[in-house]
Amino acid sequence: MNAKANKNHVTSIEPAYYQAVTEAIRKEAVKILKDETVVGVVGYLPGRRQGTASPALVTTVEEAEKLIFSPACVNNLSVYLTKAKKGVLKQGKVGIVAKGCDMRALAGLMTESQLQREDLFIIGVVCPGVYGFGVERTGTLTEANIARKCRECTVHMPEGADVAAGTHTELADLTPEEAEEMARIEAMPQAERWAFWKEHFSRCIRCMACRQVCPFCYCEQCLCDKNRPQAVESSPRPAGNMAWHLVRAMHLAGRCGGCAECERVCPMDIPLNLLNRRMAKELKELYDFEAGLAPVDKGPLNQYKEDDDQSFIK
């Protein structure tokens, strides 16, 4: 994050860069599998269709030689180390390929004692960006096809990894779309803000994909599935939807690393990362906290200071 001075500004990221990262990942993965540092590596394999990638756990050298990194490597792999997949860690130390934003999730999960640093071998990716959704996947990453979150990325250069694959390169002068959108919403009159979110939330089909893909939604029993008593209606109707989104944003406040996976998987195109960003901004302003830059003892909503702002309390 503080490496701003060294960055290279370019107008497109050529496939050659990703190829170089791919080589570095393969080399490292093969090495740590061979010397039995790890029992497996969570990374990306080529997807079945051109221009896609799938998350995979590789356990042999042959498989490790097929690992890739490309702009199609959108998934945040840290989710594979939580929830049901926790079994992976029981076998021994695990390697994981992590972009900057995935590293934030790893750091957050360490903060929450869901992962131990010594159980991981992190192959950090110096990441110039990934594809947005619904764009043409030509191979060259440009301003036109880069993901929204990558436009404002502060973690191109992952910190705290065991090794880093790649050099520092990022696209020049990207418009910060999410920041602009957030400012636009904040400037709306209150009733318009309500109408804006109501419209978005009313389209939610409660598929819970946003929850399933989030590394921080690892609760064995989600509040939103509880029906005795029922805190949040679970059918896709307006009241329950509003409650679900507010609960989700609240539960992720101070934890969310901004990987925008929730937004990416949403079949209804609900701009969930705007809510995440808004909460992140608030916690930064109030408690000078940014989630996931490094593991910490406690998140901002699990601690307090006696002189915290209470101007809103009478």
> Which residue is associated with the tokens 């079994």?
87
Contact 183, 175 (CB under 8 A): no
Rounded distance between C-alpha atoms, residue 96 and residue 106, angstroms: 10
3 binds, among ligand SF4, another protein, none (CB under 5 to 8 A by kind): none
Whether the Cβ atoms of residue 28 and residue 82 lie closer than 8 Å to each other:
no
Residue 216 binds to ligand SF4 (criterion: CB under 6 A): yes
Look at phi and psi of residue 173 and say left if phi exceeds 0, alpha if psi is from -120 to 50, else beta. left
Residue 270 lies near ligand SF4 (rule: CB under 6 A):
yes
Q: Does 232 bind another protein (CB under 8 A)?
A: yes
Figure out which of the listed residues 62, 86, 198, 207 binds another protein, where binding follows CB under 8 A.
198
Q: How far is the CB of 295 from another protein (least distance, A)?
A: 20
Alpha carbons 271 and 246: distance in angstroms, whole number: 13
273 interacts with ligand SF4 by CB under 6 A:
yes
Output 134 or 229, the one with its CB closest to another protein: 229
Number of residues in contact with ligand SF4, rule: CB under 6 A? 49
95 binds, among ligand SF4, another protein, none (CB under 5 to 8 A by kind): none
214 binds, among ligand SF4, another protein, none (CB under 5 to 8 A by kind): ligand SF4
Reported as half-sphere exposure (CB side, CA atoms, 13 A), residue 71 has a value of: 30
Q: Which of 82, 84, 108 is nearest to 94 (CA)?
A: 82
Q: Which is nearer to ligand SF4, 57 or 130 (CB)?
A: 130
What is the x/- site pattern for ligand SF4, positions 196-215, by CB under 6 A? --------xxxxxxxx-xxx
Q: Which of 275, 290, 291, 292 binds another protein (CB under 8 A)?
A: 275
CB 73 within 8 A of CB 136: no
Q: Could you tell me which residues are beta bridge partners of residue 8?
A: 169
Vertex 264 angle, CA 276 and 176, to 5°: 60
Smaller CB separation from another protein, 123 or 291: 291
Out of ligand SF4, another protein, none, what residue 211 binds, judged by CB under 5 to 8 A for its kind, is ligand SF4
Q: Does 312 bind another protein (CB under 8 A)?
A: yes
DSSP structure string for 218-283? --SS-GGG-BTTBSS--SSSHHHHHHHHHHHHHHHTTT-----HHHHH-TT---HHHHHHHHHHHH
Report the distance separating Cα 292 and Cα 251, nearest Å: 15
Give the other-Cβ count within 10 Å of 46's Cβ.
16
| Contact flags string 99-118 toward ligand SF4, x per CB under 6 A | xxx---x-------------
* Residue 197 sits in the site that holds another protein (CB under 8 A): yes
What is the C-alpha end-to-end distance of the chain, expressed in Å?
39
Q: Which does 99 bind (CB under 5 to 8 A by kind): ligand SF4, another protein, none?
A: ligand SF4
Could you list the residues that contact another protein (CB under 8 A)?
185-186, 188, 190-198, 202, 223, 231-232, 237-239, 241-243, 245-247, 249-250, 253-254, 275, 278-279, 282-283, 286-287, 300-306, 308-310, 312-314
- Residues forming contacts to ligand SF4 in the complex (CB under 6 A) are 99-101, 105, 127, 129-130, 147, 149-150, 153, 155-156, 204-211, 213-217, 219, 222-224, 247-248, 251-252, 256-262, 265-268, 270, 272-273, 276
